Amino acid sequence: MNRMNARFLLLFAFVSIAVSSCRNWRCDFPQQPGIGAGYIPQEPDYRDSAMWITADQDSANSGADVFYVVSTWEEDWTTEDGQLCHYADVTNPRHRKHMAREINKVKSYMGPGNRFFAPYYRHATIDAFVSQNDDTISLRTQLAMADVCAAFDQFLRMRDASRPIILAGFSQGGMAVVQLLKHMDDTTFRQLVAAYVLGYKVTAEDTASCRRIRPAQGETDTGVTICYNTVKDVKYAKPVISATCIGINPVNWRTDAEPALLHDTITVRLDTATHVLVVSNYSGSEYKPYKNLINVGDIHSCEPWLYSECLARNMAVRTWCWRAQQLDNRRVAVVVPMKTNTKGEWK
């Protein structure tokens, strides 16, 4: 048994906080929203290690705690007794296999040098997004966001609170990252290296309602939000996913239109009007169109994979900067005197 798994088992054995309601977890969303008729899968208990994929690859204790939120995998489905369900079921082996496929692939590049945590959750099915109706999406995703909030609060209980945090999520997981920035308190935010919103939007309403959403301006700033969406042409951007008010190029970490070369052949440029990435010399043909929603001129499915090397390197850079800032703060706290004498001289 590795050290991280042992830590989980010990904490799961002794945590006594009830999980019977979302309110106990300080969630910002109702656990049973008024979503109409339909089957609601069993609520996850995040004290149970079976609800997580984790890895501890930070033997030097110099990395960060990465909290990753998986994207959308399921379509609407029907139970054996004929009930329609709009959510993934964390106890369904097929649904778990789908989520684990993405999580483990992301873990392969976000995990090294870090401690990695990713919860299974009742994500809303793709049908909500296919509707391209913001009201439907907002209503259906309330349950999913509540699960992620509950998982994040348990993550905070399990982790070493002195370590920095990285948030990352793709698609519906990116939506969850935005919600977690609203959900966390200021003490937790001070531990934040960065939040990576991959393939989803950050709206003006989001930034207005949450001062913790601070757009990244470069490669090394910390406590910031990174957001990007990839298209072949701006005309293909899907507002329901990528109508964002912030964006950054994850290849050169610039917020202007300066192009960057990826893998020696792909040109990546940030369109400063729409804040989406426009790529040239990359077809994205490995990602098949789906229900006229994604991969139709946009290349939504590429977001965690096309830039994976850039993301892994940037997470390491920003973590180093966060730790250096903490060290500088401690040095200042040591050398600055606490009192002066009556002449105003330092004692």
pLDDT at 149: 98
Q: Is the pLDDT of residue 25 over 60?
A: no
- For residue 291, pLDDT beyond 80: yes
pLDDT at 345: 39
Single-letter amino acid, residue 43: E
Sign of CA dihedral 315, 210, 24, 50: negative
Tell which residue, 22, 27, 18, 24, has the closest CA to residue 184.
27
DSSP-derived secondary structure letter, 43: P
Q: Measured between alpha carbons, how far is 145 from 177 in angstroms, rounded to an integer?
A: 9
Taking alpha carbons only, the member of 107, 167, 142 closest to residue 32 is: 142
Rounded average pLDDT over 7-20: 38
Could you tell me the pLDDT band of residue 309, with boundaries at 50, 70 and 90? very high
pLDDT band at 333 (very low <50, low <70, confident <90, very high): low
Least confident of 22-31, 98-107, 159-168, 179-188: 22-31
Strand runs labelled E in 256-303: 260-262, 266-271, 276-280
pLDDT at 234: 98
Identify any residues that bridge with 198 across adjacent strands, giving them in sequence order. 170, 228
The mean pLDDT of 303-326, rounded to a whole number, is: 98
Per-residue confidence at 329, pLDDT binned at 50, 70, 90?
Answer: confident
317 has pLDDT over 90: yes
pLDDT the model gives residue 328 = 82
Instruction: Enumerate residues 6+ apart whose C-beta is below 8 A from 94.
Output: none
Take residue 280 and report the two structure tokens written for it.
């040239």
Closest CA to 100 of 138, 130, 55, 145: 55
